[in-house]
Amino acid sequence: MATTTVDAHAHDSHAHEGPKGILGYFWSTDHKVIAQLYLWTGMFMALIGGLMAYVFRMQLAFPGKPVPGFGVVSPVEYNALVTNHGTIMIFWVAMPVLIAAFGNFLIPLMIGADDMVFPRINRLSYQVFLLSAIVILASLVVEGGGFGGAWTAYPPLSANPAYNLTPLGATLWVVAVALEFVAFLLGGINFIVTLMNARAPGMKAYDIPMVCWMIVIASILFMLSVGPLIAGAVMLLFDQTLGTGFFNPAVGGDPILWQHLFWFFGHPEVYVVLLPAIGVTVDIVATFSRRKLFGYRLLLYTAVGIGVLSFFVWAHHQFIAGIDPRMANIFTVTTLLISIPVIEMFFVVFATMYGGSIRLTVPMLWALSFLAEFMIGGMTGIYLGSSGSDIYLHDTYFVLAHFHYTFFPIAIIGGFAAFTYWFPKMYGKMLDERLGKIHFWGTIISFNFIFIPLFILGGLGQHRRIYNFQNFPELAPYQPLRVVATTALVVMLLFQLVFFWNLIKSFRRGVPAPKNPWESNTLEWTADSPPPHGNWPPDQMPVVYRGPYEYGHPGRESDFWPQNVPPAREA
């Protein structure tokens, strides 16, 4: 057995078989079980975040009217809903699903290891994450209600209970976010060390599937950027609870300091979630185009380049926060520079598809729509990154639509792409393609109907984080656009029922999945579906002979060439 992959004292946990009972599930060290836990917790949080959006969008479309299932939304509740919607979607949905769930599931399987190198740290990671999720949910129902100072938590609003009126909610919010960071630190260490140390014999650096690279680069970015924010979070917590004044100008503190600490993390964070989604897309597109990935190394180096650049753009969030205009110029240049490597990654994917024999399966549809929709987000970022136009656009719905055109493709579209692609491996069942397509088109079309109206409203000058636009005579007439967006949101939420129906259907009577339903090359498809504890029988651990994207090789009968097939056996 590949005992070298598991560190010595954690190994005893491997001796007994998979999880026993419900509690055993939460105590398992198996990377696949932990992946499931992250996945389902993330999906549950996505549901909560989605319902929050439903409530506050209803308030915006029909101000003051009782929202079915919730009642009349008060201004304080509105702020808490908007704040926690954003916080939850980024920290409890995008990160756990794309990075933690798929990182945990895929990295050991794709590099041919039997588990993570630190299984017990991995388990601890999920447990801390679960605790953080409980704390953020609890913060919504404590005395005074949930924190309402926006997901960016700018002081002095966030620092002083006299301003935010949520003494408990604000503190629990900070605690929850800090716990979530701890969980991801533990997970990230595992991902990085596992990829470095536990690869199957023969797997060189350039034989690693792109999605593993991307998750690991994203983890490194996260580890490098989160430190200053942890410092800031502790300072904010002290300001809230101990009466220090780090961010309080009245006693010599500096509120802008928080913005620097937050965005120094916040901007790299957007690439932390973008890179795994690109990795998923690349793997899916190569498989379903039956073509070798165009420019493997180019893509890898580009991702690293993006990572480096992303540390030098943060102040584009602060163009009108009173920073030196000369600094605004510098950050405009760095921000516009970063669009170059981003679009380069997209061209790599297009070049991969060029001349391929494309199979439009459900995962492929999701992957292609990721490219199309994200492009809109990236293009609009250019207007925001130019400090001149951002003076007008800052904090309008244009910004809001911009980042939803980036985050939604990443977290939701990328998440569905990965989920539908690896579902057969995870559960040993095939999903229904027809239901999958209905769900896909319903979600994509309604998504655009939500956010295109919001782009228009932003261009008209509608500001974010406002409870009722009827109070603004020059904005009130655009109410039909708000109603369209809200209606589209409700439609999109309803289309998710199709997804759940598809899930239930395939769990109950889905077609059993073969080992390699998509005729893919990477190692996870050589394990059983679903893979057993330890992934492969100890005497059949895979060995790697070639890169992951050898599709359509000239002179071979079959159009794919799995990484583990020895050349000799075929000759």
Partner 1 sequence: MTAPSASLAGRAVQARRQQVLPNGVLGMLVFVLTEVMLFAGLISAHAIAMAGATEWPPLNQPRLPVVVTLLNTVALLVSGGMLAWAQRAWRRSSQTVNPPLFGALALGLFFVLMQGREWVALIREGLTLTSSTYGGFFYLIVGAHALHALAAILALAWAWRRLAVGRLAEAQLATVAVFWYFVVLVWPFIYIRVYL
Per-residue contact string for residues 208-227; x = within reach of partner 1 by CB under 8 A: ------------x--xxxxx
With binding defined as CB under 8 A, does residue 321 bind partner 1? no
Within 291-320, the residues that bind ligand HEM by CB under 6 A are 316-317
Name the nearest CA neighbour of 217 among 113, 338, 301.
301
Residue 88 contact, options ligand HEM, partner 1, Cu ion, none, Cβ 5-8 Å cut-off depending on partner type: none
Positions in 424-453 near partner 1 (CB under 8 A): none
Contacting partner 1 within 80-99 (CB under 8 A): none
**Residue 274 binding ligand HEM, by CB under 6 A:** yes
Q: Which is nearer to ligand HEM, 292 or 402 (CB)?
A: 402
Q: Cβ neighbours of residue 205 under 8 Å, at least 6 residues apart?
A: none
State yes or no: residue 117 binds partner 1 (CB under 8 A). yes
Q: Is 543 in the site for partner 1 (CB under 8 A)?
A: yes
The type of residue at 369 is S
Indicate which of ligand HEM, partner 1, Cu ion, none lies near residue 384 (CB less than 5 to 8 Å, by partner kind).
ligand HEM
If the CB atoms of residues 232 and 442 are measured against partner 1, the closer one turns out to be 232
* Residue 292 interacts with, from partner 1, ligand HEM, Cu ion, none (CB under 5-8 Å by kind): none
Q: In this chain, which stretch among 259-267, 341-349, 499-507, 526-534 interacts with partner 1, using CB under 8 A?
A: 259-267
| Inter-residue contact 210 to 277 (CB < 8 Å) | no
Cα 442 from Cα 346, distance rounded (Å): 25
Q: Are 333 and 387 in contact (CB under 8 A)?
A: no
Query: Binding mask 324-363 vs ligand HEM (x if CB under 6 A, - otherwise)?
Result: -----------x--xx--x---------------------
3 state SS for 314-365 = HHHHCCCCCCCHHHHHHHHHHHHHHHHHHHHHHHHHHHHHCCCCCCCCHHHH
Number of C-beta neighbours around residue 250 at 10 A: 7
CA distances from 463 to 296, 393, 470 (A): 42, 9, 13
CB of 92 to partner 1, least distance (A): 21
Q: Which stretch binds Cu ion (CB under 5 A): 22-30, 260-268, 391-399, 483-491?
A: 260-268
199 near Cu ion, judged by CB under 5 A: no
Element (H, E) at 131: helix 119-141
Part of the chain binding Cu ion (CB under 5 A), chosen from 266-274, 275-283, 475-483, 506-514: 266-274
Return the closest-CA partner of residue 239 out of 229, 228, 251, 227: 251
Give the Cα separation of 389 and 462 in Å (integer).
15
- The verdict on whether omega for the bond into residue 228 sits within 30 degrees of 0, i.e. cis, is no
Structure tokens at 100: 């933690």
Q: Which option in partner 1, Cu ion, ligand HEM, none does residue 291 bind, with CB closer than 5 to 8 A by kind?
A: none
Can residue 154 be called a binding residue for ligand HEM (CB under 6 A)? no
Q: Taking CB under 6 A as the rule, does residue 275 contact ligand HEM?
A: no
Determine, following the binding rule CB under 5 A, whether residue 267 of this chain makes contact with Cu ion: yes
Q: Are 527 and 491 in contact (CB under 8 A)?
A: no
Cα–Cα dist 469/311, whole Å: 36
**Cβ atoms within 10 Å of 1's Cβ, excluding its own:** 14
260-319 positions binding partner 1, by CB under 8 A: 260-261, 264
Instruction: Show the tokens assigned to 135.
Output: 């704390």
If binding is defined by CB under 6 A, does position 152 make contact with ligand HEM? yes
CA distance 532 to 115: 11
| CA separation for the pair 429, 530 (Å, rounded) | 9
Candidates 39, 135, 185, 211; binder of partner 1 (CB under 8 A) is: 185
Smallest distance, Å, CB 487 to partner 1? Answer: 44
Count of all residues that appear for the chain in the document:
571
| Contact region with ligand HEM (CB under 6 A), list: 71-79, 195-203, 401-409, 509-517 | 401-409
Residues that bind ligand HEM (CB under 6 A): 152, 270, 273-274, 316-317, 335, 338-339, 342, 378, 381-382, 384-385, 390, 393-395, 399, 402-403, 406-407, 410
